[in-house]
Amino acid sequence: MSKKAICLMIIFILVISATGCGLLKRERSEEESPEPEENSEEALAHLRKTVFYFVNEHDLLVPVTRDIPWIEGIGKAALESLVDSEELRLELAEKGLRPSLPEGTEIIGMTIRDGVAKVDFNSNILQFSDKIAEQNAICSVIYTLTEFPSIDQVQILVEGKPLDKTPHGNQIKAMLNRENINLETSIDASPEIMPVTLYFKSANFSGNFNYFVPVTRMVAKSENHIKTALEELVKGPSDDMGLVSVLPKDTRILDVIKKDGEVVVNFSKEIEGYGGGIDVEQSVVNSVVLTVSEFPGVETVSLQVEGEAGALPEGTVLETPIFKPLYINPGSI
């Protein structure tokens, strides 16, 4: 073979080699993209707003919205964010809250299929001092997981075995749903009553984190369930819960009309006697919207005062329907 042919062959090999390396590098960069820099737009795009359920000083479950990395297995990551650790304990303490799952709790396995999340914990999930702490732990798992659209029910296992009874005597159903969070009283089996979820404000709060707490109350059935719930909201919470109603006590619910996905609530003029301040006014609106939105099929809520959709004293406009909120109690924890 001539020198010229040999040189051409070497050049050809070098070109192919260089091109091949370029292709390999390009493929690798697509498969193994580097982690985005903290606080960059790319990093923010990889975050998901997620609602977690922690516990306050009155042993009530409190929903808190925070951003977590959107990763594969995010449901498991969400549960791990409920587990007690020194770091999380200190962060939550600033807001008057504490973790809901015991220190050392691990998720051994987790599957999601047909709307059911099956979660297998290690035995640390059962390390509680009393029955209320156990109830809160189970409920925090159910409520945190069912915030994800793909999960409707939860099944809990411990070391591979279905959990049907806790050490402190809580009976656990095979399939768990969102129901009766922060129940005020024991459930009466009477068919004449129903549960309603009311959103009250925390009476004692730390720093600037003043939050809403969902409370389940058993009430007599009526022809207008939403109106009944709002009347209970005006009555306020039980005295020992550390909560308050932001609606004035003399407020009357004149009418509640539900048409398709919209609910129109007509209040008496007394609702304007909340004491003033834009923050309080916004809390009045949020308390009503959160409570009404708990009913199935509600998409928007419109508020009126004596039949008029004008504005509240601090300027909150009532003419535009308010959408059902996706998140509650945002907190940078």
Instruction: Point out the domain boundary residue: 162, 182, 207.
Output: 162
pLDDT tens-digit map of 181-201: 999 976 666 778 999 999 999
Whether residue 102 is found in the same domain as residue 153:
yes
Instruction: Point out the domain boundary residue: 117, 145, 162.
Output: 162
Instruction: Point out the domain boundary residue: 162, 183, 210.
Output: 162
Could you tell me what percent of the chain has a pLDDT over 90? 71
Position 265 in a domain: yes
What pLDDT was estimated at residue 209?
74
Whether residue 205 is found in the same domain as residue 101:
no
Whether residue 199 is found in the same domain as residue 266:
yes
Position 87 in a domain: yes
Whether residue 148 is found in the same domain as residue 84:
yes
| 259 exposure class (CB count in 10 Å sphere: 0-12, 13-18, 19+) | exposed
Domain of 275 in residue numbering reads as 193-323
Position 80 in a domain: yes
Q: Are 136 and 59 in contact (CB under 8 A)?
A: yes
Whether residue 65 is found in the same domain as residue 115:
yes
Average pLDDT over residues 301-330: 93
Q: Record the tokens describing residue 263, joined without a space.
A: 């609910």
pLDDT category of residue 208 using cuts at 50, 70 and 90: low
Whether residue 49 is found in the same domain as residue 127:
yes
Whether residue 209 is found in the same domain as residue 306:
yes
CA–CA dist 225, 291 (Å, integer): 11
Position 167 in a domain: no
Position 312 in a domain: yes
φ/ψ of residue 145, rounded to 5: -70, -40
Mark out the alpha helices in the chain (DSSP H runs).
3-31, 41-45, 74-80, 86-93, 131-145, 225-235, 278-293
Position 169 in a domain: no
Whether residue 206 is found in the same domain as residue 115:
no
What pLDDT was estimated at residue 186?
65
Range from 117-126, 166-175, 227-236 carrying the lowest mean pLDDT: 166-175
Handedness of CA 184, 187, 192, 198 (dihedral sign): positive
Could you tell me what percent of the chain has a pLDDT over 70? 83
Position 184 in a domain: no
What pLDDT was estimated at residue 138?
95
Quote the number of domains for the chain.
2
Position 331 in a domain: no
What b/e sequence results for 205-231 when a residue is b if at least 16 CB atoms lie within 10 Å of its CB, and e otherwise?
eeeebbbbbbbbbbeeeeeeebbbbbb
pTM of the model: 0.83
What pLDDT was estimated at residue 46?
84
User: What is the pLDDT of the chain when averaged over all its residues?
Assistant: 85
Average pLDDT over residues 94-104: 94
φ/ψ of residue 108, rounded to 5: -70, -40
Whether residue 297 is found in the same domain as residue 198:
yes
Whether residue 129 is found in the same domain as residue 224:
no
Does the structure show a pLDDT above 50 at 49? yes
What pLDDT was estimated at residue 30?
24
Quote the strand ranges of the chain, DSSP E. Answer: 47-56, 61-69, 97-98, 107-113, 116-121, 153-158, 161-162, 193-202, 212-220, 243-244, 253-259, 262-267, 300-305, 322-323
Whether residue 232 is found in the same domain as residue 297:
yes
pLDDT tens-digit map of 279-315: 999 999 999 999 999 999 999 999 999 999 999 999 9
Range from 23-27, 53-57, 248-252, 280-284 carrying the lowest mean pLDDT: 23-27
Residue 291's nearest CA partner among 222, 237, 239, 330 is 237
CA–CA dist 232, 236 (Å, integer): 7
Whether residue 212 is found in the same domain as residue 147:
no
What pLDDT was estimated at residue 276?
85
Average pLDDT over residues 231-246: 95
Average pLDDT over residues 217-224: 94
What pLDDT was estimated at residue 305?
97
pLDDT tens-digit map of 60-92: 999 999 998 888 889 999 999 999 999 999 999
